[in-house]
A = this chain, B = another copy of it.
C-alpha cells in the first residue's frame, strides 16, 4: 500500500509493463521484489514450468535440454547484485531522446539464486572455437513497425555475452529473487544475472543458450543497446556491456526545504561495473567543494553501496547538491553528458536543488499575534 513514506511505483508504460522504483523512497540495501523496477520489451510470457525446457546448443560437444527440476538439483549460488537499465536517467538527456523517460529508479539491488552459467556450459562441452554465448528469451514481438529502427518481423529478446563473461563467477542463471521463485515480470522460471553489466544482458525467461563462433550482431546489440566509440577518427558501434560508475541522491529530493542549523542526512546509492565503489563525494554548493561521503555496510562484489553524508547548512538560501562516485578502477563519474552513448549510460552528475529556510522560532509566532 503506498504511503507518503512509501510512494507507489511509477508506471512508465502499462503494456508491456515498464515500471520504475521511486528512488526517493530508497531505504534498504535490498529492494523488495514487489518494488523492483520492471523493464520488458514484450508482454511477459506466461510459462508453465512443467512444459518449459532450457536448450543448450550451437558450438558444443553435446547439445542438451534441461527441465527446471534438474537445474534446481545442481549446486546453487547466490549473488547479491545491482542491475541498472541502460536507459536509466534518459530523462536527463538534453535535447530529449526517444525512448522510455526513466528518471533514476530503473535500478535495484537484489539477492539472486541459481546456477553458474559456466556449469551449464560445461555439461554441454563448449568447443574451442567458441566466441560468445547467446541467450534468448521466450518473449518476442515486432519492434518499431515502419520506423527506420523496425525489427525484421517478429524477434525474440536475445543478447550475447563474450565467452569470458559467460563463464565468470558473476554470471548465473537465476530461478530465485530475494529468496522466492522469480515472479512472472522478473523472468520466471529462469533469467540471467550478469554481475556488473547493464540490465539488457540480464535476459529473462531464457529458453535457448547458443554458443556461437562469431560475435553476434543481433537486433538488441546492433540496433539497440549499443554506444559509439571513436577511434581511427570515425565512431564505431560497440554493444553496451558494463555499467558505468554512478552515485545517485535519493534524499533530499529536488525542491526540498531543509532547515538552517539542523543536521540533514544526504542519502543515496552508488554502483559501477566490474569494479567496486571506492568513494562517494558530495558537494553541497556551500563553497567548501567536494567532501567525502560515508559508505554504508560492507563491500560486496557486484552489489551497490548505500552511502550518506551529514550536512548542517548554516545559512539560509538556495543550494545545489551534487554527488559523484569513484570506483576501484579509478573511474570518476563525469560532470557532463557525453555524445557517444546514444540515449544510454546517463551517468553524469545530476544536481539536486534545495532551499535552506530559517529554523522556526516559537516565540516569534507568539509575538506576531
Residues of A within 8 A of B (CB): 58, 95-99, 134, 136, 146-153, 155-156, 158, 208, 210, 212, 216-219, 222-223, 226, 228, 230, 232-238, 339-340, 342-343
Q: Considering the chains assembled together, what is the distance between the CA atoms of A156 and B230 in angstroms?
A: 12
The answer, among B150, B232, B237, B340, for a CB contact under 8 Å with A223, is B237
Q: List 14 A-B contacts (CB under 8 A).
A: A97-B148, A148-B148, A148-B343, A150-B342, A152-B228, A152-B339, A153-B339, A208-B233, A210-B232, A216-B236, A217-B236, A217-B238, A218-B235, A218-B236
How many copies the complex holds: the figure is 2
Q: Are B237 and A222 in contact (CB under 8 A)?
A: yes
Q: Are B134 and A232 in contact (CB under 8 A)?
A: yes
CB-CB under 8 A for A156 and B233, given A98-B147, A147-B98, A149-B149: yes
Closest to A341 in B: B152
Question: Would you list the 4 A-B pairs with minimal beta carbon distance, nearest first?
Answer: A152-B228, A222-B237, A217-B237, A152-B340
Q: Considering the chains assembled together, what is the distance between the CA atoms of A156 and B233 in angstroms?
A: 9
Q: Are A235 and B151 in contact (CB under 8 A)?
A: yes
Q: Considering the chains assembled together, what is the distance between the CA atoms of A148 and B148 in angstroms?
A: 9
CB distance from A289 to the nearest CB of B (A): 32
Q: Are A149 and B152 in contact (CB under 8 A)?
A: no
The answer, among B99, B149, B150, B222, for a CB contact under 8 Å with A222, is B222
Query: Which residues of B are found within 8 Å of A58, using beta-carbon distances?
Result: 232
Query: Which residues of B are found within 8 Å of A232, using beta-carbon distances?
Result: 58, 134, 210, 212, 216
Q: Are A148 and B233 in contact (CB under 8 A)?
A: no
Query: Which residues of B are found within 8 Å of A151, using beta-carbon distances?
Result: 235
